[in-house]
Structure 1
Amino acid sequence: MKAAFFTQTGAPEVIQYGDLPDPQIGPGQALVKIRAVSVNPIDTYIRNGAPYWPLPNPFIIGADFAGEVVQVGADVTDVKPGDRVWGSNQGLLGRQGSFAELAAIDAHWLYPTPKDVTDEAAAASALVGITAHLGLFQRAQLKAGETIFVNGGSGGVGSVVVQMAKASGAKVIATAGCAEKVAAVKALGADLVLNYKTDDIAAAVKAFAPEGVNVYWETVREPEFEKIVPLLAERGRIILMAGRDAKPTFPVGPFYVKGCSLLGVVMFKATPEEQRICAGDISRWLSNGMLKPHIGKVLPLSQAAEAHKLQEENTLRKSNTLCGKIVLKP
């Protein structure tokens, strides 16, 4: 089979595209013919040598996928050959990734793809959708009528948070970095979208939500808590999904006297049962149009190295050359 893989960590150029042996499935697994995959920042961190866990060698990159089951192993009853499926969690915790023509995947990470949802949409919604769902509903316990502030509403996770929050009946404030991205986030349904480069964020939030925001979703790697905490309502919740090495200043006093909470979300540490709950809502919202993944670029799988370069330019160097997810097709 063709696959995108590396044998040593480093810059995007270490990614090779070529032939590897077809994977063999074991009990509890399914062999999936991959139709679409998508790129996430964590894929680039792993490729660059982040020491999260030992990697197989060669290591196939990628977490997200959508495709079709072609074979099932012993004890697999929930899926059968011919079923369209989607999922994430490949390439994590030592598992082989999804950027290949075929993947052997534990069946508990497979979710049915609705008939009216494309493989590209399902793959683009996988890791970001599960992350958003876990953060909003398991960790922050967002309720209808509450106000959420999404810092970075045009990004992969941020754009999904905006849509899921609206689907749950919340009021959404979001930020973006240019006029094009502001318009894109408005189109996702946000009630108020601010340009973080030019607008007075504090004044605009005060006018929209005089009592403060109930949930603040942070997407950037270096949170500015001295700006965030004043925006919170009593018992406000901050969700963190990035910033492993960040050591920002934290205003303890203003935070604790409001009775606020600081919550982290790491999707690959959630159990299969927890992630399946997320997947059910994601599939339903994709099918009824309440969730529309923002796909910024579609490339062939052979251009996986170029896709990693583009992702890093935007994640690490803030080049603003990408709005939405990168999807690749074998």
Structure 2
Amino acid sequence: MKAAYIEQPGPPESIHYGDLPKPSPVRKQVLIRVGAVSVNPIDTYLRAGTVSMALPRPYILGCDVAGTVEAVGPDVTRFRPGERVWGSNQGLLGRQGTFAEYALADEEWLYPTPYEVADREAAAIALVGITAHLGLFRDARLQAGETLYVHGGSGGVGSCVVQMAKIVGARVITSAGSPEKAELCRQLGADEVVMYREEDEAETLRRLAPNGIHVWFETLLQQNFEMIVPLLAPRGRIVVMAGRQSKPSFPVGPFYVKDCKMFGFAMFNAPPVEQQHCATDINRWLSEGKLRAVIGRSFKLHEAAEAHRIQEENTLGGRGDLIGKIVLEP
């Protein structure tokens, strides 16, 4: 089978595209004929070696996948050949990745793809959708009527946060760096959009949320808690899911006297039962048309190096021209 893989960590140019043995499922594994995959920042960190994690050799890139069940191991009970599935959490913690014509995944990390949803849409929403759901509902326990703020509502995680928060009846404020991105945020359901290149973010948020922000979902690599904490409502919650090297100052006094809380998490630490709960809601909202994947760029699998380069330049380089997710198809 064809696959995009690395022999050792390195820059995007270290990605090879070539033939590797087609795997066979054992025990509770499902063999997927890949229809689409998507690129996440964690994929680029693993490829570059900036996140230390055990990797098979050669290592096939990719966390997310959507496709059709080709074969199943003898202990699989939830899926049969011919059914469509999607999932994430591959290519992590020693597991092989998904950037190939065929991918293996334990059935506990897979979910049925709704009939109405294309593989490219399911792959694009996998990791970011689960991440948004965990932060909003497992941790922050967002409620109807509360005010939420998320940086970058046109991004992968941000676009899911905006939509999910609106689905449960929250008031949503987000930020955007261009009129195009701002319009997309409004189409996704944002009530207010802060144009952070043109406006004073803190002053605008004080005006838009005079009683404070109940849930601040932080997607930036560098957090400004000196700004965030004073803008929180009493019992406000901060969700942090990015910025491995970040070490910002933190105003402890103003934080605790308002009974605030902060949650930090990496989605791949969530056990299968928690991610399954997220996937159930995601599938229902996709089927009902309340949630959609935002796909900014599409490539073929053999263009994985270029896709990684663009993701890296936007995540770490501040390029700022990527909207939503990058999807690759065989």
For Structure 1 versus Structure 2, the TM-score category normalised by the shorter chain is: over 0.9
Q: Which residue of 2 aligns with 1:96?
A: 96
1:226/1:250 contact within 8 Å kept: yes
Post-superposition shift, 1:329?
0.1
Give the corresponding residue for 2:236: 236
Whole-Å separation in 2 of the counterparts to 1:208 and 1:310: 34
The letter for the 1-side match of 2:116 is: D
SS at match of 2:321: coil
Task: Kindly provide the CA deviation profile for residues 104-126 of structure 1, in whole angstroms up to 9, marking residues without a partner as x.
Answer: 11011110001011101100000
How far apart, CA to CA, are the structure 2 residues paired with 1:315 and 1:253?
32
Q: More displaced, 56-65 or 176-185?
A: 176-185
Aligned residue runs from structure 1 range 83-232, under 5 A: 83-232=83-232
Closer, same or farther in 2 for the Cα pair 1:66/1:275, shift >3 Å?
A: same
Match of 1:280 in 2: 280
Structure 1 moving runs of 4+ over 4 Å: none
In 2, Cα distance between the equivalents of 1:308 and 1:84? 26
One-letter amino acid of the counterpart of residue 92, structure 2: L
Letter in 2 for 1:175: S
Letter in 2 for 1:286: L
In the TM superposition, what is the alpha-carbon distance from 1:223 to its structure 2 partner? 0.1
2:28: which partner in 1?
Answer: 28
Q: Is the 8 A contact 1:44 1:312 kept in 2?
A: yes
1:278 match: secondary structure: helix
The 8 Å contact of residues 45 and 51 in structure 2, kept in 1 or not, is answered as: no
Q: Which amino acid aligns with 1:298?
A: S
Q: Is the CA contact 2:2–2:17 (under 8 Å) kept in the aligned structure 1?
A: yes
Q: What do residues 247-298 of structure 1 show as CA deviations (whole Å, max 9, x unaligned)?
A: 1011111111111111012110011111000001111111111111110011
Residue 310 (structure 1) aligns with: 310
Q: Secondary structure at the match of 2:124?
A: helix
205-214 vs 302-311, which moves further: 205-214
Aligned residue for 1:92, secondary structure, equals: coil
Matched with 1:12 is 12
Distance 2:186 2:201 in 1: 16
CA contact (8 A) 1:218 1:238 kept: yes
Residue type of the alignment partner of 2:105:
I
Deviation at 1:208, TM superposition (A): 2.4
Aligned mates of 2:120, 2:103 — CA distance in 1: 17
Deviation at 1:31, TM superposition (A): 0.7
User: Which range is displaced more, 81-90 or 180-189?
Assistant: 180-189
> For residues 153-211 of structure 1, what are the alpha-carbon distances to aligned partners after superposition, in whole Å with 9 as ceiling and x for unaligned?
11110110000000111000000111211111111110000111111222322222221
Distance in 1 of aligned mates of 2:262 and 2:26: 40
Which runs of structure 2 are paired with 1:37-56 in the superposition (5 Å)? 37-56=37-56
Alignment-mate amino acid for residue 260 of structure 1: C
Q: Which residue is 1:65 aligned to?
A: 65
CA distance in 1, matches of 2:164, 2:111: 19
Q: How many residues align?
A: 330
Give the distance between the partners of 1:50 and 1:309, measured in 2 at CA: 15
Gaps of 5+ in 1: none
CA contact (8 A) 2:215 2:238 kept: yes
Question: 2-side partners of 1:49 and 1:266: how far apart?
Answer: 18
TM-score (normalizing by structure 1): 0.98
User: How far apart are residue 66 of structure 1 and its match?
Assistant: 0.3
One-letter code aligned to 1:47:
R
Partner of 2:74: 74
Report the more deviating stretch, 34-43 or 286-295.
Answer: 286-295
Give the Cα–Cα distance (whole angstroms) in 1 for the partners of residues 320 and 206 of structure 2. 28
CA distance in 2, matches of 1:151, 1:118: 28
- The 3-state SS of whatever aligns with 1:299 is strand
Contact (CA 8 Å) 2:174, 2:193: kept in 1 or not? yes
8 Å Cα contact 1:88-1:127 kept in structure 2: yes
> Which amino acid letter does the alignment assign opposite residue 6 of structure 1?
I
Distance 1:203 1:248 in 2: 21
Distance in 1 between residues matched to 2:78 and 2:120, nearest whole Å: 23
Identity of aligned residues (%): 59
Deviation at 1:51, TM superposition (A): 4.0
Deviations 1:304-323 (A, max 9, x none): 00000000111011111211
3-state SS of the aligned residue for 1:96? Answer: coil
Instruction: Tell me the residue number matched to 2:327.
Output: 327
Distance (whole Å) between structure 2 residues aligned to residue 146 and residue 265 of structure 1: 22
